[in-house]
Copies of this chain bind each other. A is one copy, B any other.
Amino acid sequence: VSGMGGSAIGGDLLSDLLVDQVEVPIITCRGYHLPSYVREGALVFTISYSGNTEETLSTFLEALKRKCMVIAITSGGRLAYLCRKLKVPILDVPEGMVPRAALPYLFIPLIILAERFNVAKGLREQVKAAVSLLMAMRDELGPDVPEEENRAKELASRIMGTVPVVYGFGHLRAVAYRLKTQFNENSKVPSFYNCIPDLNHDEIVGWEGEEALTKGFSVIFLRSPREGPEVKARIELTKQIIAGKVARILEIRARGSSRLEEMFSVLYVGEVASLYLALMRGVDPSVTPSIDMVKHGMEKLKLASRIEEHALSLMP
Contacts and interface: CB of A to CB of B under 8 A. Distances in A.
Interface of A: 4-6, 8, 18-25, 27, 30-33, 35-37, 39, 54-55, 161-163, 169-170, 181, 183-185, 188-192, 195, 197-198, 200-209, 212-214, 216-217, 228-230, 233-234, 237-238, 241, 281, 283, 288-291, 293-294, 297-298, 300-301, 303
A300 B229 CA distance: 11
A233 B298 CA distance: 7
A302 to B, nearest CB: 11
Contact of A237 (B206, B289, B293): B293
A66 to B, nearest CB: 12
B36 A19 contact: yes
Contacts of A37: 22-25
A17 to B, nearest CB: 12
B293 A241 contact: yes
A188 B204 contact: no
A11 to B, nearest CB: 13
Contacts of A237: 293-294, 297-298
The 10 A-B residue pairs whose C-beta atoms are closest, nearest first, are A5-B201, A181-B202, A184-B206, A190-B206, A192-B192, A237-B297, A189-B209, A204-B290, A188-B208, A30-B198
